[in-house]
Chains A and B, each alone.
Chain A
């Protein structure tokens, strides 16, 4: 029988990987999640705690997928604290995915926003020339650098890490590096996921140079299926119309980069 993907399926966490002191990757086996497209997400039930929208992380093992979580509030901390053998529920996948161009590609990821970027790397062609920018506040928070390098071993590629405090890689905001790189090189596609201000600046820079740019957005979600309206941004519903949007569309949306909705649905400034 075909699985009702809106119905929660219980999975056992098989492996927990410490990426940084505050970021962990939880690996599980599943039939559907290993095959999802970059930008798609699952609703993840942490029994007794909450249910969160999570981008689906890739696993290098056949038939496995993962979630990479940073502990932040009580719910993400609940997911972070999941141990090997614990059960979580998943439903989905939901949302659209990146429109992958060929040629010179620039990927810009910040924090757990790197997750869809890692999945995107699985879809690049061997002929693509890939530049991956990893942004972090400080050295301790850098992760996926080695993982990305493994994924890109057959490509012409460059991985650049920038930390806000300069303790690792380049010093400064990752968006300063976006500016520098796009000043020097024409990219056929720019893809970004991470903190919204970072995405906003990346989209602005790329768009001002006439480059094709897309961002995968995050919003508070309850249903994931276009019922509750929690994730609306202007007239867009991030769960149904996104998570991936074109740069020109985003720049015409008056909430992108400026406002998010709180749990009651009130717009708040970033």
Chain B
């Protein structure tokens, strides 16, 4: 019997990573020291919190809520120190694969922010076209395919760094948003963002989140995210990063089989802390050896054959 050497290295279009599990945007993504620690803990890349042109304080608490039965509901309100502050911090980065998430309303916001990172070593930009709980940005942008075209075109003109669009479930069919992004030259798609949702406390009879509405993440949305990855990879030839409720190596493998080349996770960090990255890495390697798979790309989209 020949020994099979399995590798976790993967490529998402022009982005090459040593490991396929990334930290999703919005989670812990605020200091370079924490990014280094996450990288050491097995994360293949770190996606930063979504950065805006100016610093944002976000919403008052409660901003995060644990749903009984599984999953997290959040409306942090995209609190972030602003793109310029962040870029300064990332100038110190040498060896962590960092993907900078950006949020804005008009192409000019994105052009400005992208240029701020000219002196930083980063692996890519991820355009947040899907945050479900802040007005005028995120999902409201993603729901406007013409605006998506303008933004992606402007960003692609402003940088040579690979650009990813993160899409979610809004009022426009997400496949249309994906199509607009691809037409404008996007390098990859992250699917999906949290799903707009809410929770009400029965005792005090009021919505729990200060913003009333938030985004649902974690285990409950995994089958939805998986369906979206499968649909995107069936319709378009574009590298996909799967995101939504991934917390075990089986979850990650499911997304590869559906057509993703890499995955992101966030809620699992809240449930299992940062050990979750290496637990998934180890589990995937074990699975690949058992199945005689040597590279992640050999798994990508296999389920679509049936």
Contacts and interface: CB of A to CB of B under 8 A. Distances in A.
Interface of A: 4, 6-8, 10, 43, 45, 47-52, 75, 87, 89, 91, 222-223, 225-230, 232, 234-235, 237, 240, 261-266
A241 to B, nearest CB: 10
Interface in B57-87: 57-58, 60-68, 72, 74, 76, 79-82, 85
A227 B61 CA distance: 14
Interface SS of A by simple majority: loop
A265 B81 contact: yes
B85 A266 contact: yes
A51 B74 CA distance: 13
A266 B28 contact: no
B158 interface: no
Given A50-B61, A223-B63, A240 B273 contact: yes
A227 B80 contact: no
A263 B74 CA distance: 16
A87 B68 contact: no
B80 A226 contact: no
Nearest to B206: A47
A91 to B, nearest CB: 7
Interface string B243-282: 0000000000000000000000011011001100000000
B85 A263 contact: no
Interface of B: 27-31, 33-34, 36-37, 49, 55-58, 60-68, 72, 74, 76, 79-82, 85, 201, 203-204, 206, 208, 210, 266-267, 269-270, 273-274
A264 B79 CA distance: 5
Contact of B49 (A4, A49, A226, A229): A229
Contact of A264 (B55, B60, B67, B68): B55
Contacts of A230: 30, 79
Given A47-B204, A89-B201, A227 B27 contact: yes
Contacts of B37: 235
A93 B206 CA distance: 24
B61 A226 contact: no
A118 B63 CA distance: 30
Contacts of A265: 30, 49, 55, 79-81
